[in-house]
Chain A
Amino acid sequence: MALVGRTAMWWARLRSPYPTGAPFCFPPWRPTGLAADWRLYSSRGKEKLDMSMYPVESIRNFSIIAHVDHGKSTLADRLLEITGTIAKTDCNKQVLDKLQVERERGITVKAQSASLFYNHEGVNYLLNLIDTPGHVDFSYEVSRSLSACQGVILVVDANEGIQAQTVANFYLAFEAQLTIIPVINKIDLKNADPERVEKQIEKLFDISADECVRISAKQGTNVEKVLQKVIEKIPPPQCNTADPLKALVFDSTFDHYRGVIANIALFGGEIQKGHKIVSAHTKKRYEVNEVGILTPSEQPTHKLYAGQVGYVIAGMKEVTEAQIGDTLFFYKQPVEPLPGFKSAKPMVFAGMYPVDQTEYNNLKSALERLTLNDSSVTVHRDSSLALGAGWRLGFLGLLHMEVFNQRLEQEYNMSVILTAPTVPYKAVLSSAKLIKEYGKEEITIINPAQFPDKLSVSEYLEPTVLGTIVTPHEYIGKIIALCQDRRAVQKDMLYMDEHRVMLKYLFPLNEIVVDFYDALKSLSSGYASFDYEDAGYQTADLIKMDILLNGNPVEELATIIHNDKAYATGKYICERLKDAIPRQLFEIAIQAAIGKKIIARETLKAYRKNVVAKCYGGDITRRMKLLKRQAEGKKLMRKIGNVEVPRDAFIRVLKRQTDK
């Protein structure tokens, strides 16, 4: 997973001259006075760092985890400043979150790691801050990043307290058996209530209040104390340079000139230029061109040693060659790959079409460029009779989809039609013929056209997620009703304190992919937070619903849906179509059907007149123009039976509703 953006930001900032008189100190490896452009500089034979001066005992690998907007990026800024990794200026305000979507949603999309150098009680420490993307869509990436750490800083807002994502993040770290340093941020705010947050932490996470560090990342209060805690509490990595090379890939980016830059954590051995390495996943062989540390831009070093974190460039041409979670080892010394590797698994699918077919090639090249850096998006060519040529894209989750779409629009100026998202269903086949045809018993269904009939299936399965909701208690009633409406099953309910409640529900994924988050935010006046994690598949009473126009099925509107939701959804689609299809010379029956059974119907009455306006001298030219436009429009309409359906009608029904 990689949605790049940050490296470039750092780059831009580092190139700009520092304000005169701004206090800053240099990292140990950086000669005084050379404040400019170190990436270019580093590429040309500056003396490389000798990383052997940082043995395992003086290394700490850690992440910062936090709910949206609780101050993770600001704290990272301060840590980088204190250790002299970046200059201290007034501009370091959540500089990492530069994408518009990051700022709008207050999330970190692209993680950026950095090595910090810090002298504590006379010892030089190498502190590797391994950043993580801040959203559950990327929970796999988060878990891989965490597996390179021995501890985490858990940041909680002193005003908002523990939120859904705090809980999810805590459990990720807890299950990975990492040391957790709770930090209560924003104590400078007027409504800050650190005691209450300490009590929540004690109650929910069983961490004593004394362990919490109260800070203001914005003002720099107590931030040094956090660094000291990192050194004192988090153990050094347990590994040995004498072992054979074993490196975890926890992130990767793509550089047009140098190819893939893989971020790695060494679990054993050492690595340097000229080494021949192999990917445990692809089995491909590479020769190392360059290794180095991230500061956070790449800083070449002679070698990297066990316990250290940095990057490797080894002639990989595509990001798919450096998949997150993969293990790298020496060609001649194979090792047991690190556990937990999974290929990126899309959980949400949506069709993407150019608004205008003449834009197809431009959109294609934009997609190619964007996916260069994001191997987790799957792209399959698709075409719809109504929307033309396009693609079916698979995303890790909803946010991932939104980020991708927004970047396409903002960075490539591409306007696209994105269809309502669907989830991958499964069917366990019972028909011997079908099993033979597919070569397996369990198949994944993405396209409704592939939906196998009930008679040849022993059961259908749908993906589920375990959702965590944290809310002020006054909204509980409404939220429980919302969850029940979404077929969710309550798993847990806990009062965190007298005001806040944490709810856990098992949701069918398809019930939350469209508008659940917006509905939750709206009925809780924005106070409830939500997070979810993958919870596998469950059996489900799935059916395929067809939409018929005067008895003829409309292929692109067929959907796979849960039986309980068929009536409401069918009715909704029929109503939307009724508004979207223009009246014609005859009556049109718009029906939703399951098999032969009609479950919803709307009737679009025949058009009764359209030329009642006056038509004399000056009106004639206008009328002829109008008729010509109508004739052009008719050419673009899709005929289903004798019904003419404008492309716009499909768009209105298929398109994701973002205006709710």
Chain B
Amino acid sequence: MRGQVRGCPSPIRTVCPWPYCRKRCSYCNFNKYVVPTVDEVAVRACLVQEARTLLRLSQVQSVTSVFFGGGTPSLASPRTIAAVLEAVAGAAHLPVGAEVTLEANPSSISPARLAGFREAGINRSAILLPLQSLDDAELRLLGREHTAAEARGAVEAARRLFPGRTSIDLLFGLPGQSQDAWARGLAAALGLCDDHISLYQLTLERGTALAAQVWGGTLPAPPQDLLADMYQTARAMLVAAGFRHYEVSNFARKGALSTHNLSYWRAEQYIGVGPGAHGRFVPRGEGGCSREARVQTLEPDAWMREVRSQGHGTRRRVVLSPLEQLEELLALGLRTDEGVTHERWGHFSPQLSLQAVFGEPGEAQDLQQQGWLLLDSG
């Protein structure tokens, strides 16, 4: 828990998932819908309306980042992106330097389309490319729509348009993947990438085609030790290439950290707009004073009906108890290299300091002695 003071996290972030995909990937259990046609005008109107409603509810003055996530938001038209950003800017202050991120699928972005997104957003945008792999066989296994060559092309195009602001995602621990294959793939990605990389160990999610094949025995499950070796190899390679391992799955160099994602791990406020979006904020607009975990309605048509009738499609709101807030703060903060700062802890727990809770003999102190945990006074 290294002490590092940062600015007070009062502004809010906005998350906006686009719940449609052209094709189902074999490993993904995200809330997404593969439909032949999307009534984009209607979806856009609802996204705009919900963004306005929720921002009013949160009563924040300023939005510091906007994230358009998957499904496949790059399937939406730049007009939709522009409309949401306008709505955000209309309801709160959206500073010029705000980070606006779009998750773009390599198969759904041509250089022209990318340029359209740049026009729609604010100049300083970032683009995130869930490549997952640079090997055609692996991409087929994952059920991805694009080839390795297309992925390369997409990264190059994105880097031209968003220099220093392009990130890529890679998956490791695929069934049958060897340590060497992974290291080769990562080396290739290093030759291609910009200043931000996310590495995810493949999680077999219930209900996905890939999980069914592994659990059914038609595909091998990668051994735990191999997975650990892959992770360590990757970490060593990336650190050698000048990357900072700033979160369990995220690496950045030249300070290109994703400030949007950091807000999750710092337990800042964010609102979720769109079907299945998650949010964490205090709904001061209706007199609330406790942080709530909120989930929007999953199914797009039902979500749209609710947005039209009541301005938003919040399906579930749970008031987080002080203890639950602290648990989230710890579980998330410990994922980062900066840890949980004394200041941020104090924001959630003004009475009881980190030292008072974890400086006493007990399990936490045992973990400190074993080197798993660090509590300093910084």
State the A residues within 8 Å of B (CB). 583, 585-586, 605, 608-609, 611-618, 620-621, 623-624, 627
**Cβ < 8 Å to A, chain B residues 330-378:** 331-332, 335, 370, 372
7 additional contacts (CB under 8 A) given A613-B203, A614-B198, A616-B264: A586-B370, A605-B225, A613-B200, A617-B15, A617-B280, A620-B264, A621-B293
Inside 8 A of B164's CB, which chain A residues have their CB? none
Say which residue of A583, A612, A620 sits within 8 Å of B231 (CB atoms).
Answer: A612
Alpha-carbon distance A616/B272, docked complex (angstroms) = 12
What bracket does the count of chain B residues touching chain A fall in?
A: 35 or more
- Residue of A586, A612, A617, A618 most packed against chain B (CB within 10 A): A617
In order of increasing CB-CB distance, the 10 nearest A-B pairs are A608-B228, A612-B201, A617-B278, A618-B278, A613-B203, A614-B200, A609-B228, A617-B15, A611-B248, A614-B249
From known contacts A617-B272, A620-B328, A627-B327, infer whether A609 and B293 are also in contact, taking CB-CB under 8 Å.
Answer: no
Pairs A–B under 8 Å by Cβ, sample size 12:
A605-B225, A609-B228, A612-B201, A612-B231, A613-B249, A616-B69, A616-B261, A617-B264, A617-B277, A620-B264, A620-B332, A621-B293
Decide if B276 is an interface residue (CB 8 Å cutoff): yes
Decide if B68 is an interface residue (CB 8 Å cutoff): no
Q: Are A585 and B372 in contact (CB under 8 A)?
A: yes
Closest CB-CB distance, A460 to chain B, in whole Å? 43
Inside 8 A of B265's CB, which chain A residues have their CB? 615
Nearest A-chain residue to B31, judged by Cβ = A618
From known contacts A585-B370, A614-B198, A615-B264, infer whether A609 and B231 are also in contact, taking CB-CB under 8 Å.
Answer: yes
Inside 8 A of A627's CB, which chain B residues have their CB? 327, 331
Q: Are B278 and A621 in contact (CB under 8 A)?
A: yes
Q: Mark B274-296, 1 if CB is under 8 A from A, else 0.
A: 00111110000000000001010
Inside 8 A of B280's CB, which chain A residues have their CB? 617, 620
Alpha-carbon distance A617/B17, docked complex (angstroms) = 11
Say which residue of A583, A611, A624 sits within 8 Å of B324 (CB atoms).
Answer: A624
Nearest A-chain residue to B276, judged by Cβ = A618
- Residue of A609, A611, A618, A623 most packed against chain B (CB within 10 A): A618
From known contacts A617-B270, A620-B264, A627-B327, infer whether A611 and B335 are also in contact, taking CB-CB under 8 Å.
Answer: yes
Decide if B37 is an interface residue (CB 8 Å cutoff): no
Decide if B309 is an interface residue (CB 8 Å cutoff): no
Inside 8 A of B199's CB, which chain A residues have their CB? 612
Alpha-carbon distance A611/B199, docked complex (angstroms) = 12
Nearest B-chain residue to A616, judged by Cβ = B264
Decide if B120 is an interface residue (CB 8 Å cutoff): no
Closest CB-CB distance, A579 to chain B, in whole Å? 13
- Residue of B198, B293, B324, B331 most packed against chain A (CB within 10 A): B331
Decide if B209 is an interface residue (CB 8 Å cutoff): no
Inside 8 A of B249's CB, which chain A residues have their CB? 612-615
Alpha-carbon distance A612/B198, docked complex (angstroms) = 11
- Residue of A609, A614, A621 most packed against chain B (CB within 10 A): A614
Alpha-carbon distance A318/B96, docked complex (angstroms) = 90
State the B residues within 8 Å of A (CB). 15, 31, 69, 198-201, 203, 224-225, 227-228, 231, 248-249, 261, 264-265, 270, 272, 276-280, 293, 295, 324, 327-328, 331-332, 335, 370, 372
Inside 8 A of B295's CB, which chain A residues have their CB? 618, 621
Alpha-carbon distance A618/B272, docked complex (angstroms) = 9
Alpha-carbon distance A459/B225, docked complex (angstroms) = 48
Closest CB-CB distance, B230 to chain A, in whole Å? 9
Alpha-carbon distance A459/B231, docked complex (angstroms) = 58
Nearest B-chain residue to A612, judged by Cβ = B201
Inside 8 A of A618's CB, which chain B residues have their CB? 31, 276-278, 295
Inside 8 A of B225's CB, which chain A residues have their CB? 605, 608
Q: Are A583 and B279 in contact (CB under 8 A)?
A: no
Inside 8 A of B331's CB, which chain A residues have their CB? 623-624, 627
Inside 8 A of A586's CB, which chain B residues have their CB? 370
Alpha-carbon distance A509/B250, docked complex (angstroms) = 61
Inside 8 A of B224's CB, which chain A residues have their CB? 583, 608
Nearest A-chain residue to B367, judged by Cβ = A585
Inside 8 A of A617's CB, which chain B residues have their CB? 15, 264, 270, 272, 277-280
Inside 8 A of B31's CB, which chain A residues have their CB? 618
Nearest A-chain residue to B265, judged by Cβ = A615
Q: Are A620 and B228 in contact (CB under 8 A)?
A: no
Alpha-carbon distance A585/B370, docked complex (angstroms) = 9
Alpha-carbon distance A621/B317, docked complex (angstroms) = 12
- Residue of A586, A612, A624 most packed against chain B (CB within 10 A): A612
Nearest B-chain residue to A586, judged by Cβ = B370
Closest CB-CB distance, A635 to chain B, in whole Å? 13
Q: Are B200 and A612 in contact (CB under 8 A)?
A: yes
Q: Are A620 and B278 in contact (CB under 8 A)?
A: yes
Q: Are A615 and B270 in contact (CB under 8 A)?
A: no
Closest CB-CB distance, A407 to chain B, in whole Å? 35
Alpha-carbon distance A620/B370, docked complex (angstroms) = 27
Closest CB-CB distance, A642 to chain B, in whole Å? 9
Closest CB-CB distance, B139 to chain A, in whole Å? 19
Closest CB-CB distance, A201 to chain B, in whole Å? 51
Inside 8 A of A614's CB, which chain B residues have their CB? 198, 200, 249
Alpha-carbon distance A293/B287, docked complex (angstroms) = 85
Alpha-carbon distance A260/B248, docked complex (angstroms) = 71
Closest CB-CB distance, B208 to chain A, in whole Å? 14
Closest CB-CB distance, A376 to chain B, in whole Å? 45
Nearest A-chain residue to B330, judged by Cβ = A627
Closest CB-CB distance, B275 to chain A, in whole Å? 11
Inside 8 A of A616's CB, which chain B residues have their CB? 69, 261, 264
Closest CB-CB distance, B189 to chain A, in whole Å? 17
Closest CB-CB distance, A612 to chain B, in whole Å? 4
Q: Are A624 and B328 in contact (CB under 8 A)?
A: yes
Inside 8 A of A611's CB, which chain B residues have their CB? 248, 335
Inside 8 A of A608's CB, which chain B residues have their CB? 224-225, 228
Inside 8 A of B370's CB, which chain A residues have their CB? 585-586
